[in-house]
Structure 1
């Protein structure tokens, strides 16, 4: 009996057909209406933005669709805003009245709410996405979501323990000295703080890994299930490299600023002797602006590197069953330089270059992805439509309360 040949694997590059000039018209309307409505237009702005980028993303020859209901996005926005304001008010009231236990309980309460918010957001995002009429869905149950979120509770426990330890290790004289700029006697407390920061970083890495793995593994398109190959160690390597880049950038920028400050310090002191209040205020604003700009500049290369490497790591190691797999050709160095260029141009144009920056960064990432399909694309689409059947309707009805649109 002759063997059936394996179906041919065909590449399908993903394309972004939008442009910065087109998106600028969407963006400027969103900004103006957001200002006029004091931010209440945000849900409509998010929907218009999503529809633009989805509609200009070609996947195997067809665009994606964003079909979220506007009323659900408005309700989600208002509910989340009310929840955030209530938490902030309660936390400030607890800390100002010295109710440390209440503040800690609020912290743990926020940690308990985080998995629900993330799960609702992912269900909403995938449930609102269509491709050739085929629904996407996120099918993880709440037990799986909360088990994947264990590091959120670990972070809350780490900082609750750190605050208790610092309070015990920091005597009153040392606290008084800190307010005066002296850290004598604060060594043990600083060590606890650094340990808490390291543990928090490891927990954040674990949380990102768990969430990305769960999102892919429980994603469905028609009857196809996602598969995820990366391991936790891969994420740790990317994060450690990002931290290293941040430290090197910090040292380089700090050295340049120290040299400039040393050279201009004498000139500044001579100029300020006869300055008035207005000049002092302007100088303070200038220093604040420079400090903020330096902070962004220092963190940007590391952030862009992590974003590019994570994109490569995920899109080179995911697929749907054995029928589809993806590959990314995104170049890390080129993407970092693109982000730096976009930041500088956005700064020089007072933010008006932002829509061009967003589209160029999105195009760089999306345009680097190629989908490899086993067999004919049209036959696959027909099969997915048949598989979808009642499953798509049942999944859409079982999504529950989606707070984030």
Structure 2
């Protein structure tokens, strides 16, 4: 990295577009309040012409402005400020107050040119319904055997309809391989049930002997999912170690219990590190760049939300009525649910880096709650038939709120992949498609 790139300046631009989930009026009011500008200047910002809101920023400061504006619902972009360019005084809006350092969830290093490359999901509920209903019927008719093919068809649909920079993701697993893995798992389960019915002591020994296998299964399941996922014909990979998985599965949770759950943020960070740092795209490693303090601040805010609603519900039940207190408690639960559902994804993806590239997630807690509740309601009243639309709806929202911060281009991954060893192929037969993820 040259000294010249360390001194790169950035600018924030805006073309009057709003993010999904925000009304135009709401965003106008938010931007007006944030910049403390008149109605006339606000109208000019939303005229559709791309305007430079702020220039001459370091990358860290640009991220702060970007985060504040996206929270307000404005679709803004960060770009490198041309060295010879000057911004007319009337084009640049008044300076909004920067967020305090505690609001920063990432600590990126010096960067070159950056471009935000959003994800998009192009699937539809009607299209996925045909796949979904056939999968269910064939799985029932074949007494579950078709479930392996159903898993592949589902994943291929969602991967193939998730696009970034004009290319789709790919799911490459073989249904036969998944079926073999499930048959092995079923045989182990049957053996355990038989032993537990015939010899209780043998069943206990069997269960204890299975414990050391849990970290191994975690590593193999993450690796299976990774090596069967690809983007631009380059496979992902997972190289996490058994010892790290053992710490995440047993040691850190036990220490957390012994410390009365005070280590919960640290345990989550260790889990995220295990998943992110063990992952690869081609030959390039992912890396989690987050301080432990980021996790404690995140959980601390959640704890304050829980305490606030808990106290309010208690006082309402005591002095107003049980019904009012129950309503407050229910609202508090949903608020906390949305906070963690959106916040954990934002924290994890915002802290992950791939070489010089970063990621960003802008999930909104209230929007997540609304989608989750409305999806659940519609699934119930349609006796499950709305499920395909519910899955597509959530997938589209998650994609719309996720972007890769590309510095330069992604072509160097293709060149690096050409030098990759062929040892990957022999691992594809290990089917441990157990669902274990960071978010």
How does the TM-score come out when normalised to structure 1? 0.67
Tell me if 1:47 matches 2:47: no
Match of 1:393 in 2: 422
2:320 matches 1:320:
no
Deviations 1:364-385 (A, max 9, x none): 112211111111x3xx32x222
Tell me the alpha carbon deviations over residues 251-272 of structure 1, each in whole angstroms, 9 at most, x when there is no partner. 979x7xx968xxxxxxxxxxxx
Equivalences, count:
319
Shift in Å, 1:388? 1.4
Offset at residue 353 of structure 1 (A): 1.1
1:27 aligns with 2:132: yes
Deviation at 1:205, TM superposition (A): 6.4
Contact 2:306 2:336 in 1 (8 A): yes
How far 1:78 moved relative to its partner? Answer: 1.5
Map of 2:289 onto structure 1:
229
More helix by share: 1
Spell out, residue by residue over 1:101-155, the C-alpha distance to the aligned partner (whole angstroms, 9 max, x if none). 963x455434322212211111011100111111111122334433443437839
Distance 1:142 1:127 in 2: 18
Q: CA deviation at 1:350?
A: 1.0
Bigger relative contact order, structure 1 or 2, given CA contacts below 8 A and separation 6+?
1
Q: How does 1:63-74 map to 2 (within 5 A)?
A: 63-74=168-179
Question: CA contact under 8 A between 1:205 and 1:239: conserved in structure 2?
Answer: yes
2:431 match: 402
* RMSD of Structure 2 on Structure 1 (CA): 3.8
Q: Does 1:119 align with 2:219?
A: yes
Q: Distance in 2 between matches of 1:31 and 1:144?
A: 37
Structure 2 residue aligned with 1:374:
407
Matches within 5 A, 1:113-262: 113-151=213-251, 154=254, 208-232=268-292, 234-235=294-295
Cα distance in 2, alignment partners of residues 307 and 27 from structure 1: 25
Q: CA deviation at 1:234?
A: 4.5
Aligned twin of 1:288? none
Gaps of 5+ in 2: 9-111, 324-329, 435-439
- Pair 1:134–1:142, CA change in 2 (3 A): same
More strand by share: 2
- The equivalences for 1:336-355 within 5 A come to 336-355=369-388
Task: Provide the secondary structure at the position in 2 that maps to 1:309.
Answer: helix
Q: Matched residue of 1:63: which SS?
A: strand
Q: Distance in 2 between matches of 1:17 and 1:111?
A: 42
Q: CA deviation at 1:3?
A: 7.6
In structure 2, the partner of 1:310 is: 344
